[in-house]
Structure 1
């Protein structure tokens, strides 16, 4: 395997961490709030998750990527894309803006692009830093779609259930655990679809069949070239849903040419203690200063 650099950049899937942090506490019926009633539970949990990952994986640089809201190119291709998602809980909505203020106070750039998702920004930045800056890249998320970005210089860190519990995917661990190459993650989604993103894939083909087909024929192209080798049932399903197969794969593929950029000196992880204390005091979560080893001066 390629020798790793002393410097590395962590690309954080901001929405994944924020939603995880919100529901981890809201599920217990507790919403942390300021004295003025502003909900902060997701922000508090986000920082705890984030800081644990920083201490565990020790990146020298950090960027946080966000969905911008509104219509994306995927929604233009398929109107029902993510159409099954409920609106964000009322207590979470104000925290979308506040968390960006918090990451700003940590000196972490917030990156997003209209018409694209955070995944696309992450993919674009990962490609840039590995190819142009020769950096090792770590992607922090709970979203398995990002496994398609794994390569010799890019690790995907999946947050598992429980605080501080991670699965780190390299090409070797992805093949060992799931029997897949990174590019095949997209083909699997093309076949089986994605219920959480509300696109169907090929009707009647689930994960088990999709995995078997991709492992045997390597890719969707390989499958289509060998339709006569498939069982009549599977062949009929694929032939009946060819258009949706190709569309679902297009929806699943992360775009790595989004108009985003961030100079390395802008995302070097250096904490301004005064700035951090000021922001955490505003949000009445000064205990996080202790967690992060930030001197409060009191």
Structure 2
């Protein structure tokens, strides 16, 4: 592969490890792949293959892996129904989730398991860290919550069934094309819409079609709530109905106001924001100016060979040696 030209900014690849493990468990369980001690390894192997493919594609300078705290959940403490309704995890998946950190740490990557929190919080903190340090960031996940972290210097590779090469890389422009909202307003959009996968209902009557119109016309939910509090929503109704007149849509200003002022609507929105917002100030332990510190590429060749070979797939060991033990693109 031809070496890409040097970049002006270094690149951090932030990986939602549980997301990759879940997807690969369901996609690869039929292989019944085992490591050299006979333990289930298909999800771990699939996760590692996708990581290697992402490194091959993006040539990052450092990697950070977020993991969920599997012993306690701050969000469940606030809302016992959080993620209720999801299927019980298969025992072989649980085992591989619990072994993921040791595999990644053994390779020389940097992993973070924040107490009471999730990989989404690590992603949010990674985007903040990259912005502060003058780096670019690519978040690898299948979770839409990370879309709130998209900015001029942070993109999200949203994993779908096509794998790394077939997954969309979302930036500010593509996010707006998909949802009709700016990245800075995505969290507000999500709080209005709700998230069925996390068992979080949205504001009744305001979904994926109405929320973008509201945010686009009013600028932010802060402006919406302020108008309701100080003017009874008069500006909101007038602005929305004016837009409806211009576009030929049916007038809906009064209906929107009624839904936003319904009992519990503001409380539902505020609660969703508190649950959905990723924590941005986690200590990530990244020390890019210290050679050989965890997470920095390239990794030690002997170490990579020993660790990956334990999974028993020679082709993956060869790929790992190629993409993990050569200097990143920014050093070209």
- The TM-score normalised by the length of structure 1 is 0.88
Matching of residues 69-108 of structure 1 within 5 Å: 69-108=70-109
Q: Which runs of 5+ in 2 are unaligned?
A: 1-5, 238-251, 324-332
Give the structure 2 partner of residue 113 of structure 1.
114
2:306 corresponds, among 265, 275, 278, to 278
The structure with the greater share of residues assigned to helix is 2
| Equivalent in the alignment of 1:135 | 135
Q: Bigger shift: 34-43 or 226-235?
A: 226-235
Aligned equivalents of 1:252, 1:6: Cα separation in 2:
29
| Separation (CA, whole Å) in 2 of partners of 1:4 and 1:174 | 24
Q: Which residue of the partner structure matches residue 16 of structure 1? A: 19
Instruction: Go from structure 1 to structure 2 and tell me whether the alpha carbon gap of 1:285 and 1:72 turns closer, same or farther (over 3 Å shift).
Output: same
Contact 1:277-1:294 within 8 A present in 2 as well: no
Which residue pairs with 1:169 in the alignment? 170
Q: Does 2:259 match 1:237?
A: yes
**1:125 corresponds to which residue?**
126
**How many residue pairs get matched?**
290
Task: Quote the RMSD (CA, aligned, Å).
Answer: 2.3
Cα distance in structure 2, aligned partners of 1:201 and 1:178: 16
Contact 1:125/1:261 (8 A) holds in 2: no
Matches within 5 A, 1:120-269: 120-131=121-132, 133-163=133-163, 164-224=165-225, 225=227, 227-228=233-234, 229=237, 230-240=252-262, 241-264=265-288, 265=290, 266=293, 267-269=295-297
Partners of 2:306 and 2:321 lie apart in 1 by 15
Aligned to 1:25: 28
Contact between 1:193 and 1:202, CA under 8 Å: does it hold in 2?
yes
**Structure 1 CA distance for aligned equivalents of residues 209 and 72 of structure 2:** 32
Instruction: Pick which of 222-231 and 264-273 moved more.
Output: 222-231
| TM-score normalized by the length of structure 2 | 0.80
1:229-266 C-alpha deviation (Å, 9 max, x unpaired): 15444333322222111111221222212244321242
d(CA) in 2 for partners of 1:31, 1:190: 40
- Distance in 2 (CA, whole Å) between partners of 1:71 and 1:235 is 39
Q: Which residue of 2 aligns with 1:60?
A: 61
Q: Rg: which structure is higher?
A: 2
For 1:254 and 1:35, locate their aligned partners in 2 and report how far apart those are by CA, in whole Å: 38
CA distance in 2 between counterparts of 1:138 and 1:101 reads: 23
